[in-house]
Amino acid sequence: MLFLAIIPIRLSAEPVRPPEMLREITLDIDQDGKRDRAVLTKNDDESSYVDLTIYLGDDTDKPDLSRQPSIAKRHLASGHVYELASNGNGSLRVEVRCGGCSNDDDTAFSIVYRAGEFLIGGLSRSWELRDGSIGSCDVNYLTGKAVASKGLPRRSKVVRTVFRRIKLADWSEQKIPTACRP
């Protein structure tokens, strides 16, 4: 007991700041006939990463960010959020860009709900960098197939790697395939 008494305790006087909501959309990602809500947020000013939170069965008009989400993915991607949209087939599209930051880099994720799991359905990426390198890729994680191009002329070639499904919870930018890197 004496040991615990000599350990200094630090309390933070700063209140916890709620996340900044960047984009929000309702869609039926789990295809059950009820509205679901997807929210992109940013938790701190120093990070360029965005977080994705999905609430299944959220039929409310206003989001309740204190409600327990169905999934919360921290650090989905870095960059400026350009679009959060439904592809109409139950998939969610998140597009992040780094245009005007001396390198043009567009990344789009397709997120789906299959057999009770949130998955990265697809990844599309294109870039045109200051060093002159250009390229693009399109990976379909659900079929395991991809095409990519690098340099000029822009001719897409089939990527021979077989891509496996990736759970949204397991995703990180380090999992971007080599074919999709400049």
Owner of token pair 């990736």: 166
| Tokens coding 62 | 């206003």
How many Å apart are CA 160 and CA 169, to the nearest integer?
Answer: 26
Owner of token pair 């077989």: 162
Percentage of the residues of the chain whose pLDDT score is greater than 70: 81
How many Å apart are CA 93 and CA 113, to the nearest integer?
Answer: 12
| Residue 33 CA, distance from chain mean position | 24
What pLDDT score was predicted for residue 141? 96
Helix and strand counts by DSSP (H, E) for the chain: 1, 12
What pLDDT score was predicted for residue 144? 95
Q: Which residues of 11-23 are buried (b: 16+ CB within 10 A; e: fewer)?
A: eeeeeeeebeeeb
174 vs 66, higher pLDDT: 174
Q: Which residues are CB-neighbours of 148 under 8 A, at least 6 positions away? A: 135, 136, 137, 138, 156, 157, 159, 179, 180
82 vs 123, higher pLDDT: 123
Q: Quick check: 139 pLDDT over 60?
A: yes
What pLDDT score was predicted for residue 153? 72
Averaged pLDDT of the chain: 83
Q: What are phi and psi of 104, to 5 degrees?
A: -95, 120
Q: Which of the four pLDDT bands, split at 50, 70 and 90, describes residue 25? A: very high
What pLDDT score was predicted for residue 16? 55
What pLDDT score was predicted for residue 56? 93
Q: Quick check: 11 pLDDT over 70?
A: no
Query: Model-level pTM?
Result: 0.81
Candidates 182, 167, 175, 164; CA nearest to 54 is 167
What pLDDT score was predicted for residue 4? 46
Query: Helix or strand or coil: residue 169?
Result: helix
How many Å apart are CA 16 and CA 126, to the nearest integer?
Answer: 37
